[in-house]
Structure formats: C-alpha cells, structure tokens
Amino acid sequence: MSQIQQVKEAIDIVEIIGQRVELKRAGTYFKGLCPFHAEKSPSFFVSDVMQRFKCFGCAKGGDVFEFLQQYESMTFYEALEFLADKAGIKLEHELRSRDDEQRQQLLAVLDLAREYYHFVLTKHKAGAVARQYLADRQTTADSIKLFQLGYALPKWDGLIAYLHRKKKFPLELLVQAGLVIKAQGGRYYDRFRDRVMFPLRNPRGQVVGFSGRVLPSTADDQTKQEAKYINTPETLLYHKSKMLFGYSELHQQIRAKKEVLVVEGEFDVITSTQAHVNHIVAIKGSALTADHALLLNRTVERVLLALDKDSAGVEATKRSLQVLKPYDLELRVVEIPEGKDPDDLARTQPKVWREVVDRSMSAYEFILQASLNAHDATSAPGKRKIIQELAQDFWTIESQVEREFYLQRLAKLLQVQPEILKSDIKHFAEKKRLPDAKPVSTAQVEQIQPSRRGQLERYLTFLLLRGDLSDVSRRLEQLIQYTIESPVLFALVQNQTALSQISNFQQLVDSLAGDLQQQLMELFVDEKMGPILETASVEAEWLRTMAEFVQEANRAKRADLSRQFAELEAKEKKSPEQEKKLEEILAELARL
C-alpha cells in the first residue's frame, strides 16, 4: 500500500470537512451548505462510506486531499503532509513537485524574514527608534508579540545580509518572495527600509507577505517623500484581493462572535484588540472582494464596515452590498465620529469605540441616512435624487419583508404615497441596472434522459454501494456476460476479480479513474433512489432489478440480432461465412 493510500485510509473525511463546514446527517451521508459557492439550500454532500464529497450546485467534488486543496489552497503535498501529521504517519518518500518545493522555500524565507524583523524590533539596539514609535502609539508588548510586529533597518541591504549572505538563500528567491527588488544593472536591494513591519498571513497562519509603515520623518529626512505604507507585490503566495490582516490571529474570536468588523489599516486592528474589540480584520485596499466574502461566509453571519458618512463611505457600502449579497451575509455599518478613525478612537476612548461598534446600523439605513443628508428631502428635485440613488439597492433587497420595511420608511420620510414611491424605485432600478445585476437567462439546456437500460444500470450500481461489501464481487459476476453501457458499472465489472479482495468501500472507489469516482459518488447520494430502500431490502431490490435488466438486455440483443439478420438477408449473394452467420443469428434469436 502506498503512503498516500495509507494516509487516506487513516483519515475520516467527515471529521476533516466537519471541522470547517457544518454538516448534518441525512440518511447514509452528510449534507451542508457548500463552502465553495453561495447557496441557501444545502447541495453539498459528504460520504463516510465513500470517503468523498460532492456539491451538486457548483460541481466541485473529490476526496479529502482535493477538499483541502480547494478549501485551504493547499498543494497536494501540503494536504498529504497535513493529513499524515494528523494521522501520526511519517512520510518516508519525497513526494514534492517542483511547485511544492518553490512554495516551501518561499514560505521558509518569508517566515525567517518575519523572525528577523521581529528580532530587530524587540531585541536589537537598532530597533530602539521603532520601539519608541510604537510606544508613542500605545502599542503594547502583547500586541507586538501577537501580531509579530517587526522593524526593517534603514540599510539598503539589511535583510539581504541576513537571508542571502548568512542564510545562503538565493537572491532570486528573495525577489520572488517580494522581499528584495532587482534594479536595472543587476543590483539588488531591500524592498522595506526603515519601516515598522506587519506580517501578512493567509487563513492557515502562514506568512505570505508584509506591509511596512514608514517611521515619522524629520525635517531633513529623505524618507519624507516615500509612501506611508508599502506592501508586498502580487506573488505566488500573496494576493491582495484575498488578504485580511488579523484574520488568522483573531479567528477564534471572530468565529465565536459570528461577526467581523472590517477596517482599512493594521493599526486599526491592533489598537482595537487592545480596546477589547477582537472580532476585527483589515483589508488591503478600500473595498471588500468576492474572495473576502467567500472566506468570511465560512465563519460569520454579519459583516460590519467602519466607514465615514461621506460619498466614499457610501460607495464602499454599496459595493460591499453587491459583493456580499450572494452569500446572504448581513451587512452593517459602524459610523465613525467625524474627524476620527478606528485607531484614534480605540486608543484615546476605548469605551466609546466599543459603544460605537455595538451601535452598528443596517447598511440600508446607512445609505438612506447619507442620501437624506446629501439632498433636500422637501423639494421635488431632492426627492428625485434620493430615489435615484437608493433605487438599485432597495429594489434588489431579496427579503420582501425587509424591502417593504425600507420602502415604507422612505415613503414616510419623503412624504409620498408608498405605491407611487415603489413605481419610481422600480423604474429607476431597471433603468440603472448594474452590470453584475443583469437577469440570468431562463433558457434551460435540454437534458437527455437516460434510456431504461441506463436507468437500470444506475440503480444496480446504487444497490452495489448500499449492500454488504462481501456481496459486491458476487453481484458483479452476474453482470459479466452482458454488455454494460454505464462507464462506472462497466469498470467495476471489468475489475470484479480484484474487488473480491477489498476490505472497504473506499478501496472500491479508488479502483476507478477520477471522473468515474465522481460519478459513483453522485449515484451514492442520489436522493431519488434512497427512499426505495426504506421499504425493501437491498437483496430483494437487486433480484427484482436484475431480472428486469436481463429482460431489457435480451430485448436490446434481440433487436441488434434482428437488425444484423435483416442486413444479411437483404444481400442477393451471400458468402459461406455470411450464410453461417445467418444460421448463428437465427439460433441465438431462438434461444432468446
């Protein structure tokens, strides 16, 4: 047995997926909401018998390795390594691919860079200036340790000297990690210099990049012209659209709270945690992305945005509504007092900051209030502007009760008849439909229904999986003499002898090619066929279905023989071989 198979058989896929997705027992399998796409009704199935998963909404499926690769963004080797460690199995053979090697090297060099920056900040005398800066910002030692803050020396080659000259990492690897820049002429220099360093981690806690905040400059300091913050560029490991600073470090608190507060800066997160607001993350940019929504949908029910009530805050809220809508996540807004930001408020008035967060309002209430503040709600042109601004977002509220609530509220505030307001809202919404809100075509692709023979073969395969393992080989043997149309059943019949030695259904699954494994999983969790066995035994159903299958197979064979007979009989001159063939066909038809 290979080590891959050994690890696979030592792990229960239900346990691994159940730690990440809420699953509920449904007969002989488990069901839940798919973690790979937005859905409100569960179409995600996991089988402990088959040791596979399948989503009938987005078509993703596979074994436990494929789940971790898709859910955790692991490579195959990383998934194997993770599961082997969980099962207490030591991998003896080197199974890494070239890509695995590169990822491992990048992760190693980035983690060493984190360690280096953190040491310089906390232990080295050169880090005194950064320590003083953080002290002035009231950043505690606990926060420095939790977020592993660091300091990049002002030197052009401080990190190069450590990672390349001392640790012998190739310069090109440092470039690929986003730590070093290669200038024209072949000169290499540190990307981050004289900056407080914030390690950026993926959801698994691995350092994939950095953000660097320049220290306050003196009047004659040349760094005065530099950007306040610079970040790792897009690399193999770091993707800005997926990054949430603090998610890894504060995941447990976020999960327990079932909501997350989204801010824009690393210090907003750090000082908020010091003010005991621990369900918080920072985005790298000014807007939530679909990647953020997919990740947060696994953990929370509500997303809070900390925004100013200006035009930028309103637009950010509207964009976030569109991003979060497919995931059924509630969006709320934490309204920041004018002239403040989360960092200021958390640092100077922590109690007030906690109260502000607790007073979050619905995103729809936020954009309604912002529109009322921006326009004269007593004039006809002002009313028109307000309705135009709110139309798209209000009309596309999926909950009819919630939509009716805000339309009634708006009608009262504008002092207009609700029915007239609804007519205008609908008109403006359809006139100014957003590109990603276009209605999906209702044209359905015609699906060809399987023949009766095909249906019987599907059901026989289903019964194979629902019966006793010891009966599999015996039942497959009954099918050997027949022509099998189903690729899955045909492969099992062809492999009948080998399957007589299997000790679990997972080995039966593994005997098939990948695409056939998926088809087998689909049959296993077919909810239309399952209820039949509630009133009949597997053996009784097998005998009944097998009898019908034999009749159908013989009918098909008779039809084929009759066609062959007609073609030969139509020939005016027949060879001796053709005459003999005719006799054989007649004999076979008589037997059938």
**Stretch 130-138: mean pLDDT:** 95
Q: What is the pLDDT of residue 217?
A: 63
- Least Cα distance to 267 among 120, 142, 137, 117 occurs for 137
Please tell me whether residue 37 adopts helix, strand or coil conformation: coil
pLDDT 10s digits, 208-222: 999 999 998 643 455
Query: pLDDT higher for 438 or 525?
Result: 525
Q: How high does pLDDT run on average in the chain?
A: 86
pLDDT 10s digits, 229-266: 999 999 999 999 899 999 999 999 999 999 999 998 99
Q: What is the pLDDT of residue 221?
A: 52
Q: What is the 3-state secondary structure (H, E, C) of 489-512?
A: HHHHHHCHHHHCCCCCHHHHHHCC
Q: Per-residue pLDDT for 435 more than 90?
A: no
Query: pLDDT higher for 552 or 195?
Result: 195
Q: Return the residue matching tokens 């210099």.
A: 193
Q: What is the pLDDT of residue 431?
A: 73
**Per-range mean pLDDT, top range of 178-182, 225-229, 333-337, 503-507:** 178-182
Band (pLDDT 50/70/90 cuts) for residue 157 is very high
Q: How far is CA 539 from the centre of its chain?
A: 41
Q: What is the pLDDT of residue 75?
A: 87
Q: What is the pLDDT of residue 225?
A: 65
Q: Per-residue pLDDT for 370 more than 80?
A: yes
pLDDT 10s digits, 61-108: 999 999 999 999 888 989 999 999 998 988 876 667 788 888 889 999
Q: Per-residue pLDDT for 442 more than 90?
A: no
Q: What is the pLDDT of residue 438?
A: 39
Q: What is the pLDDT of residue 45?
A: 92
**Pair 582, 565: CB distance under 8 Å:** yes
**Stretch 263-270: mean pLDDT:** 94
Across 140-144, 183-187, 342-346, least confident range: 183-187
pLDDT 10s digits, 182-206: 998 889 999 999 999 999 999 989 9
Is residue 225 exposed (0-12), middle (13-18) or buried (19+ Cβ within 10 Å)? exposed
Q: Return the residue matching tokens 């005194």.
A: 128
Alpha helices, H only, 48-124: 64-71, 76-87, 98-122
Q: What is the pLDDT of residue 553?
A: 82
Q: What is the pLDDT of residue 524?
A: 82
Band (pLDDT 50/70/90 cuts) for residue 345 is very high
Q: What is the pLDDT of residue 433?
A: 56
Q: Per-residue pLDDT for 393 more than 70?
A: yes
Is residue 412 exposed (0-12), middle (13-18) or buried (19+ Cβ within 10 Å)? exposed
Q: Per-residue pLDDT for 440 more than 50?
A: no
**Per-range mean pLDDT, top range of 148-152, 313-317, 386-390, 500-504:** 148-152
DSSP run (H or E) holding 454: helix 452-466
Q: What is the pLDDT of residue 496?
A: 82
Query: pLDDT higher for 503 or 547?
Result: 547
HSE, side-chain direction, 13 A CA sphere, residue 564: 17
Please tell me whether residue 214 adopts helix, strand or coil conformation: strand
**Pair 472, 463: CB distance under 8 Å:** no
Please tell me whether residue 26 adopts helix, strand or coil conformation: strand
Query: pLDDT higher for 262 or 568?
Result: 262
**Pair 236, 102: CB distance under 8 Å:** yes
Instruction: Name the residue type at position 156.
Output: W
DSSP run (H or E) holding 384: helix 380-395
Band (pLDDT 50/70/90 cuts) for residue 349 is very high
Across 27-31, 112-116, 275-279, 292-296, least confident range: 27-31
**Stretch 523-535: mean pLDDT:** 74
Query: pLDDT higher for 458 or 140?
Result: 140
Q: Per-residue pLDDT for 560 more than 90?
A: no
Of all residues in the chain, what percent carry a pLDDT higher than 70?
92
Whole-model pTM? 0.73
